[in-house]
Structure 1
Amino acid sequence: MKIMIINTGGTISCVGTPLAPMTARAFADAFRQLVEPALLQAFPDLTLSYATDLTFPQSATGMLDSTNLQPTDWCLMAEHILTHYEDVDGWVVLHGTDTMQASGMALPLLLSRFAPDGTRLAGLSKPVILTGSQAPLFYAPSTDSPQALNFNTDAFQNVCGAIAAAQSGIPDVCVFFDSLLFRGSRVVKTDTGQFRGFDAPNNGPLGRHGIRFTLDARVLPPAPVSRTASLDDRAARAATAAQLVAIRNALPALRVAELSAFPAPYHPEQGTALLADLINGFVAQGVRGLVLRSYGAGNFPSGHPRTPEEGAIYKALSAANEAGVIIMDNTQVQHGAVDYNAYAAGAWLPGIGALNPVDMTPSASLAKLTVLLAAAEANGWRLADVKFLMQLPLVGEMADLSRLDNRGNAMLAPGQSLSTFNGAARLTNHPEKGPLLTDNNGQVVWAMLETTKDTELPGTLRVEADGNLVFMSRNNDLLWASNTAVAGRAPSQLRLTASTEGILLELYDYAALKRTWCFATSEKETKAL
């Protein structure tokens, strides 16, 4: 098994007083001497290589404290992985903890390509494991040549776990920290004083490293849907590399900002507010994306408690939306999701164009918005396409409200529902009536079952592995089927969308890139099948 170690800097590779990153070559030499022998005891078939040619131009040593990391640095890491994709079976990226959560979101996007509807056209087939530490790996009292491993640190354990994870074959960018493996798109830094520095509050661990390294098969991300959609394929890799060049060229001029809700002064009678001034300042500076860190379930001050639309903050956000700024309304609370039905203090935000990121973290939202905006021109995406993609889980960064997928969340249990992010449509598995599709007024526009029997319901809606959409009774009798099954497998999603043209519920084979069944309130959509 061939694993490449990419050292970008951070505490794990720092030495001296005050701590500063070693050069890549000095770190590789020390790692070979002091760490590699122990790793080979556990993994005798392991072959390690070191990326000593990856450097960051802003740093005197070539390595970068992640505090100073900027979006173009994500591209340097992704470019190195693409360049050496055929050479190794996985990567361990040593990274500072301050911005690891941003890189954990950006890298899987930079190593993927997506259609405007969210279908992944190219993606990872090998593991990329980010790790770091709260204390340095090496002891070097006065020189850049470490003499020993540091005493009682998390660095060595994190390296061991990351090396084990990199040999697992998991096709994703993950973060390993303090015995736990998480999806990179889900993590947040939660502690600066303990070894358990990271967590994924709305998404559990994928694996654990104790006496043995184990993975939880129930939550593992699926492999690419086909070789042509995998970075193993040279054409897919070349197209992804071309997209990466376009993103890197676009990033220096691209501005995306973050603004936290805080108890700031506002004056309804004067129509002024500090937060409004900050928002207007961002727009004046050419910001194209704004991530709000709202309170609770997505509540943000409007500047007028009684009449939100008269508030200065409301008006500033509305003007930003009209100017083409994409506004993401994240919650600053670690656990839970945005819910505009919870409080009037947040219910006004969809009206000014704010998008619902569900349970995506603010740092993930910022990185995702930055990458997608930078990729838009090269991919021919409209502003509406970027907004749509921001509300879909592209690399596991958020809960999926609008889709079932037969390679993941394939089932809609009684009482559960799919919904569009703007609330314009909902598919509910009604315990007594079966699946019902309703509009934003709650009116039923389609019922799956023409008649129901008390003995048959509640039932379960499921996308089968062969591409058939079925509704099964509580006794597992077939009550309805789309009759779209094919021999073998057919990776398929049940997708619910709504637009000005109407509501669309479709079954989509994303390996064959075609719709296999649909119900639409628009005759145009129905004829598209």
Structure 2
Amino acid sequence: MSTTKPNILLIYTGGTIGMVKDFKTGVLRAFNFKNILKRIPELNLLDCNIDTVSFKEPIDSSNMNPEYWVQIAELIEKHYHDNDGFVVLHGSDTMSYTASALSFMLENLAKPVVFTGSQLPIGDLRTDAKENLITSIQVASLQHRKKPVIKEVCLYFEYKLYRANRTTKINAEHFEAFASLNYPDLAESGVHLKVNNEYLFKPNVNKKLVVHKNLDKNIALVKLFPGISEAVLQSVFNTPNLKGVILETYGAGNCTTEAWFINILKNAIKKGIHIINVTQCSGGSVIMGHYETSNQLKKIGVISGKDITTEAAVSKLMYLVGQNISHNAFKISYEIALRGEIT
């Protein structure tokens, strides 16, 4: 760790933030992030040392998958002891999925990992990329008594810092693209950078970083809707080697009480398939048993996702299935906050 200025590593995975526009043709192209200090000279004003590393072939975030999540985690693991903080540049479409996954993969994280991106390319006249990048680096370099202030995976976008595994992309057009509807902002950037210390994650900093790389993709996500058929649901649960299913239910965790529906879930649980109940609502929590329409789910052993986001639910399911733990241990682990992902 640096004894003078903090060392910050920028990790470029791809996305709009790394694009510049050819003003003659209007075509977007990637620029070399090694030259970022020349492209954004304002970064030289920050009180930190900045280094960069990039995917060999940067990707559109729509192509993001768990194999790339492992690549990001390995880059952080490789450079962990030489840097005080990390900024991951990522396309906004799947950023909440990736950032949530990294929060579970990086156990005992004691340094900031800040995800950011932009809605417009860095070379665009009205771009949001510069502010997002500059403030993300500033957040990652915040220290108190030469120790990082932030010790978790977070996401910075449009003047707000969020806990990563609490975020959802809510808008494809506005600069304010993300929201954290069930947890307060960690910081807000205005004339001053205001950090809400009471909401920061407090890890055990005396434990060594553990990087989990075994993620199981044999899961499914089912959004319930009025009229969903038995055949469609059964086909999902008949998927070979299926390990877990996330059900996006109505309101506070409610669903149809028709016998065929409950029987499909009951039989799947008997086969050892984990079923997680999360709400379709943007904000709020699953409260199983609160209404009669969720009481049967509780009785047959469906796991409550409480107020977890769908993005965090997916990555937490992949992570826990990859841990190869008993069904009871799985249920206990899923229903408690491992990285501050549920209240």
Which residue in 2 is equivalent to 1:77?
72
**Structure 1 residues 33, 358: CA separation in 2 closer, same or farther (over 3 Å shift)?**
same
Contact 2:165–2:311 (8 Å) recurs in 1:
no
Correspondence 1:127 to 2:101:
no
| Partner of residue 304 from structure 2, selected from 340, 356, 365 | 356
Q: Distance in 1 between matches of 2:20 and 2:39?
A: 15
CA drift of 1:19 comes to 7.0
Which residue in 2 is equivalent to 1:285?
240
Which residue in 2 is equivalent to 1:8?
13
Correspondence 1:346 to 2:294:
yes
Q: Distance in 2 between matches of 1:21 and 1:85?
A: 30
CA drift of 1:223 comes to 3.7
Which residue in 2 is equivalent to 1:154?
128
Relative contact order higher in (CA < 8 Å, ≥ 6 apart): 2
The CA deviation string for residues 493-527 of structure 1, in whole angstroms up to 9 with x for no partner, is: xxxxxxxxxxxxxxxxxxxxxxxxxxxxxxxxxxx
Amino acid at match of 1:283: N
The CA deviation string for residues 295-349 of structure 1, in whole angstroms up to 9 with x for no partner, is: 10101223x2xxxxxx211111111111111000000101111112332122211
**Structure 1 residues 19, 91: CA separation in 2 closer, same or farther (over 3 Å shift)?**
farther
Which residue in 2 is equivalent to 1:404?
none
Which residue in 2 is equivalent to 1:48?
50
**Structure 1 residues 21, 342: CA separation in 2 closer, same or farther (over 3 Å shift)?**
farther
Q: SS of the residue aligned with 1:292?
A: strand
Contact 2:37–2:44 (8 Å) recurs in 1:
no
**Structure 1 residues 395, 164: CA separation in 2 closer, same or farther (over 3 Å shift)?**
same
Unaligned runs of 5+ residues in structure 2 are 1-5, 143-147
Q: SS of the residue aligned with 2:197?
A: coil
Amino acid at match of 1:202: N
Q: SS of the residue aligned with 1:368?
A: helix
Provide the TM-score with structure 2 as the length reference.
0.91
- Seq. identity, %: 31
Amino acid at match of 1:79: E
**Structure 1 residues 186, 6: CA separation in 2 closer, same or farther (over 3 Å shift)?**
same
Amino acid at match of 2:330: V
Unaligned runs of 5+ residues in structure 1 are 56-61, 113-122, 139-149, 232-239, 266-273, 305-310, 400-529
Q: SS of the residue aligned with 1:386?
A: helix
Q: Distance in 1 between matches of 2:323 and 2:104?
A: 10
Contact 1:280–1:320 (8 Å) recurs in 2:
no
Stretches of 4+ aligned residues off by more than 6 angstroms: 17-21
CA drift of 1:362 comes to 1.4
Q: Distance in 1 between matches of 2:26 and 2:68?
A: 24
CA drift of 1:284 comes to 3.1
Provide the TM-score with structure 1 as the length reference.
0.60
Q: Distance in 1 between matches of 2:180 and 2:89?
A: 19
Size of the aligned set, in residue pairs, is 329
Which residue in 2 is equivalent to 1:230?
208
Q: SS of the residue aligned with 1:315?
A: helix
CA drift of 1:293 comes to 0.7
Q: SS of the residue aligned with 2:267?
A: helix
Correspondence 1:39 to 2:43:
yes
Which residue in 2 is equivalent to 1:66?
61
Q: Distance in 2 between matches of 1:352 and 1:181?
A: 39
Q: Distance in 2 between matches of 1:71 and 1:279?
A: 26
Q: Distance in 2 between matches of 1:286 and 1:18?
A: 47
Contact 2:16–2:118 (8 Å) recurs in 1:
yes
Contact 1:21–1:64 (8 Å) recurs in 2:
no
Which residue in 1 is equivalent to 2:145?
none
CA drift of 1:212 comes to 2.0
Alpha-carbon RMSD across the aligned residues, in angstroms, is: 1.8
Correspondence 1:99 to 2:94:
yes
Q: SS of the residue aligned with 2:305?
A: coil
Contact 1:364–1:397 (8 Å) recurs in 2:
yes
The CA deviation string for residues 220-252 of structure 1, in whole angstroms up to 9 with x for no partner, is: 11142x52x133xxxxxxxx24x43xx16xx4x
Which residue in 2 is equivalent to 1:255?
218
1:76-225 equivalence runs, <5 A = 76-112=71-107, 123-138=108-123, 150-168=124-142, 169=148, 170-224=150-204
Which residue in 2 is equivalent to 1:418?
none
Q: Distance in 1 between matches of 2:230 and 2:128?
A: 41
Contact 1:261–1:301 (8 Å) recurs in 2:
no
CA drift of 1:275 comes to 4.6
Decide which structure has greater helix share.
2
Q: Distance in 1 between matches of 2:185 and 2:234?
A: 36
